[in-house]
Amino acid sequence: MCEECSPSRPRRKPAPPAVVARAVSAPIGSVLEATRAALVQAGTLGTPMGQAALVLAARIDDANEPLAAITQATKQLAATLTPVAQPAAETSDPNDEFTRKRLAREHGA
């Protein structure tokens, strides 16, 4: 192809629009503070998994982290917070359930 006839192509990526630049630099809510509040409410702030959740939340808030690291930390934070922020319901022993039903039948209740 002839250099004179071929259309010129930009050699560099164009600068992002001003709207995108403002969105990136705008302060957003603190994941660390939200995580801390959820852990305090659940009463699990001092547990090892609670502390791990705080470390992950701090990495998410760090503006110097690459997007891939933030995405991975977000997934890991969700997996960490699920059992920590929502205490597991008491698991009942099936044998206790059967014993309770048998005693209820025996006593006519």
- Backbone φ, ψ for residue 71 (5° rounding): -60, -45
Domain ranges of the chain: 28-85
Q: Which two tokens stand for residue 30?
A: 């603190």
- pLDDT tens by residue, 4-38: 676 666 666 666 555 544 445 545 668 888 898 88
Report yes or no: 77 and 53 within 8 Å, Cβ to Cβ. yes
Is the pLDDT score of 75 beyond 70? yes
- pLDDT tens by residue, 42-65: 888 888 888 999 999 999 988 888
Position 12 scores a pLDDT of: 65
Position 23 scores a pLDDT of: 45
Position 72 scores a pLDDT of: 92
Report yes or no: 57 and 32 within 8 Å, Cβ to Cβ. yes
**In this structure, which amino acid lies at residue 76?**
Q
Which pTM was predicted? Answer: 0.54
Position 56 scores a pLDDT of: 92
Position 108 scores a pLDDT of: 75
Between the alpha carbon of residue 6 and those of residues 3, 9, 11, 106, the distances in Å are 5, 9, 14, 95
Cα separation, 50 vs 25, whole angstroms: 29
Cα separation, 72 vs 81, whole angstroms: 14
Instruction: Compute the C-alpha angle 5/9/12, nearest 5°.
Output: 155
